[in-house]
Amino acid sequence: MSLSESALPFDDIRNLVQSMPGPDEGALAAVRARDAQLTKPAGSLGQLEEIAEWLAAWSGNEKPKVTRPLVAIFATAHGVADQGVSAFPSSVNRQMVENFAAGGAAINQICRSNDVGLKVFDLAVEMPTPSITEEDAMDEAHCAATMAYGMEALAGGIDLICLGEMGIGNTTVAAAVLNGLFGGSAEDWIGRGTGVDDEGLARKRAAVEAAVARLNGEKDPLEILRRVGGREIAAMVGLIIAARLQRVPLIIDGFVTTAAAAVVYAMDPGGLDHCLFAHVSAEAAHRRTLDLMEKSALLDFGMRLGEGSGAAVAAGIVKAAAEMHSGMATFADAGVASKDG
């Protein structure tokens, strides 16, 4: 998959969104028919059965399986971080990328325990985008190219993709994107992120207000993305679209990854049907965003780390759902009497 050379790069993105396929109804029907014959009372595995149906519908596999899951972490830097909107300095970006590589981060442990692959995509962590309070984060060509880069994360036969991100200041950027998409005030979208104090929260509010004021009422989701977003959000938007086109089920992590999902939703409200939302973040605006998009999350663990950590936990549950459906014997296979005899 590639974007063509054009005078208006976003037109290529819009065309891809318009061509996204729907669910595989045949695979979904086959899963439901098999589920009715499995050695258990009907509906007794609750949401696990729904997850198996979701996997079948969006992968096209009548016996859904997850053999090559991957957490893709997109790491970058934001100029707005220099305005004191985070509890940590921007130098942490490079340090955390190195920590991922050394296997020392939380996400490394979760991936190891659930047998999920991990790949970190360094989106120029040494070169922050301009501060969104003063300048656009990206021009159209840069933003579209970053989205195309995100699409490439699906290479290599991945059959379940989990979104992850890392970038000091990116909850501020995500809040600006969501404020631009859904309206309201900056107060509706900001939270303490990595743990800012009251003064830091005030700076964060002011930064979001200034960024959204620069939008001057802009409603085009891709324009909002390029002007007040960040490279990691752009890459994740691209990956969400690519996953749909390539029929790879996708798990959304927390607040920042949901901001990327919201860009796709604003382009096409059905554009997230192939996505499972892993958890509800401790950032209050995350629940608000899910409610506005009429989405529900699998878990509510009070997590707010990022890194794809919630998505990786959810991937373990998705793998279990696939194994449950595909590996369980039917009543006929096991010689067990069904409810009907």
Three-state SS string over 200-251 comes to HHHHHHHHHHHHHHHHCCCCCHHHHHHHHCCHHHHHHHHHHHHHHHCCCCEE
Query: What would the two tokens of residue 339 be?
Result: 């409810």
Which ranges in the chain belong to alpha helices (H)? 9-18, 25-35, 47-59, 92-102, 106-114, 140-151, 170-182, 198-215, 221-228, 231-245, 255-267, 284-292, 309-327, 331-334
**Amino acid, single-letter form, for residue 43:** G
Q: Give burial (CB, 10 Å; 0-12/13-18/19+) of 214.
A: middle
- Separation CA 158–CA 322 (nearest Å): 15
* Residue partners of 255: CB distance under 8 A and separation at least 6: 171, 174, 191, 281, 283, 285, 286, 289, 304, 306
Chain centroid, CA 206 distance in Å: 26
- Separation CA 21–CA 69 (nearest Å): 21
CA 312 to each of CA 22, 75, 242, 290, 341: distance values in angstroms, whole numbers, following the listed order = 25, 17, 20, 19, 41
Query: What would the two tokens of residue 251 be?
Result: 């798990």
Query: What would the two tokens of residue 318 be?
Result: 């998705």
Length reported for the chain = 341
Instruction: State residue 250 phi and psi, 5-degree precision.
Output: -135, 140
Among 62, 187, 307, 323, the active-site one is: 307
- Separation CA 261–CA 232 (nearest Å): 12
- The answer to whether residue 140 is catalytic is no
The residues carrying an active-site annotation are 307
